[in-house]
Amino acid sequence: MQDAAMSDPLAAVTAAFDDLRAMPFAARAAGLQRAAGLLEERQEDLARRMAREMGKPVAQGKAEVLKCAAACRHYAVQGEAMLAPVVRDGAAILHEPLGPVLAIMPWNFPFWQVFRFAAPALMAGNTVLLKHASNVPGCARAIAELVAEAFGRDDLLRAVFLPGREVEPLIADPRIRAVTFTGSTEAGRRVAAAAGRHLKKSVLELGGSDPYLVLADADLQGAARTCAAARMVNAGQSCIAAKRFLVAEEVHDEFVALLAGELSAYVPGDPLDDRCTLGPMARADLRDELHGQVTDSIAAGAVLLLGGEIPQLRDLPYYPATLLSGVKPGMRVFDEETFGPVAAVTRVADDAEMIALANRTPFGLGAAVFSADEDRARRVAERLDAGTVALNAQVVSDPRFPFGGVKDSGWGRELGEHGIREFVNVKTLRM
């Protein structure tokens, strides 16, 4: 490889593509297994890097790193079979890599968001150009260095550091063959428009306003515990965090009291402390936008039961666990995505109204249904506009299953066999 090519991240991953696509699956799998081992070895350091750059509590950061390792191992073991040729009716259907894929990634899960795409992409034979969020440069460098060490070469995944306005020219570059983006719906529209203009395949995982439906026959204590955890993960800064709680009127008051008790256990703390369960938000402007959603909703008639005031703690953008009841359509915390630790509860008359309100959103990423009757929960779940629905559980992404959304939550899928096949050429070879 010439030095000039190595100094240019896009030139480097472009030049490396032919080597990677020719690399046997076993060699790619070995690289991913080594990456998994390095992630496990360095979980403490990488978690602390996240805590310093975007405020994630160390305990949550270590769990994120281990989840990345699990994704690497999953595709190392399963990837070849997922991409195996399919022979039928005198033809072979092949799955061949496309080339360099541009990954535009967010700050909220700075390792997981990258590895959940990069592990299957590398296993499929695609090289990766990573444009990470500007507030997590150390995480971006750490990922590139770790992949380089795992594969014994530093040109399979390269990080590029540039402002957002320079992303579209990068998408337009003919060397980029596809684009994956995780972030806001507004930014996703711009990425999709640029990719469309230049006929580049794209996968978009965008915003969410996930409804959690609590039916009258639910285990209320268990539901409250799960709902609180689903709302408070990463200080509520997750596309698939629980955001709207639709509760049957027969159990509304009891559930709200239980949820308040669970949320009150999340107290702002030092993200570098292993005991911390609620760290600061990533930026002060995000905290202030969230507070505006809360105060506007209170002015519109929502009832504040917990939190709702900006604390002055260590000059960091903390926001407390906040609970609002009496939330209705038309209020900002119902109509918009709330990217922070705010739970909005709506009293609902019956299952039909619950389903209608759950779907009354431009988003369709995740949802959850709580009921003691599994058949009833499944019937409700099947009518929800969402890419993932959890029954009596928290919505999570998992390397084994496809993940993504509908409506303004994006298109395409990550993870599972669907994810590894997003960035391949499905070639029919007629015999």
Residue 368 has pLDDT above 80, yes or no: yes
For the four alpha carbons of 385, 388, 394 and 397, in that order, the dihedral sign comes to negative
pLDDT at 315: 84
pLDDT above 60 (res 39): yes
pLDDT at 392 over 90: yes
pLDDT for 431 equals 83
- E-strand ranges in 151-200 read 157-159, 178-182
What share of the chain has pLDDT > 70, as a percent? Answer: 98
Taking all residues of the chain, what is their mean pLDDT, rounded to a whole number?
96
Q: What are phi and psi of 402, to 5 degrees?
A: -65, 145
Contact in structure between 40 and 66 (CB atoms under 8 Å):
yes
pLDDT above 80 (res 6): no
CA 108, CA 86: separation in Å to the nearest integer? 38
**Active-site residue set:** 205, 239
pTM of the model: 0.96
Q: Is 346 helix (H, G, I), strand (E, B) or coil?
A: strand
pLDDT at 5 over 80: no
Residue 1 has pLDDT above 80, yes or no: no
What pLDDT is stored for residue 357 in this prediction?
98
What's the whole-number mean pLDDT along residues 35-60?
Answer: 98
In this prediction, residues 120-145 reach a mean pLDDT of: 98
DSSP type of residue 250: T
The CATH architecture annotation of domain 210-391 reads: 3-Layer(aba) Sandwich (3.40)
Pick the more confident residue, 122 or 2. 122
Angstrom distance (rounded) from CA 404 to CA 386: 8
Where in the chain are the domains? 3-206+405-430, 210-391
Q: What class is the 3-206+405-430 domain?
A: alpha beta
| CB atoms closer than 10 angstroms to residue 100 | 26
Mean pLDDT of all residues in 292-309: 98
**Measuring CA to CA, which residue among 322, 379, 359 is closest to residue 209?**
359
Q: Looking at residue 313, what is its pLDDT?
A: 77
Task: Please report which confidence band the pLDDT of residue 165 belongs to, taking 50, 70 and 90 as the band edges.
Answer: confident
Residue 356 in this model has a pLDDT that exceeds 50: yes
Average pLDDT over residues 10-35: 98
What is the band of 7 on the pLDDT scale with cuts at 50, 70, 90?
A: low
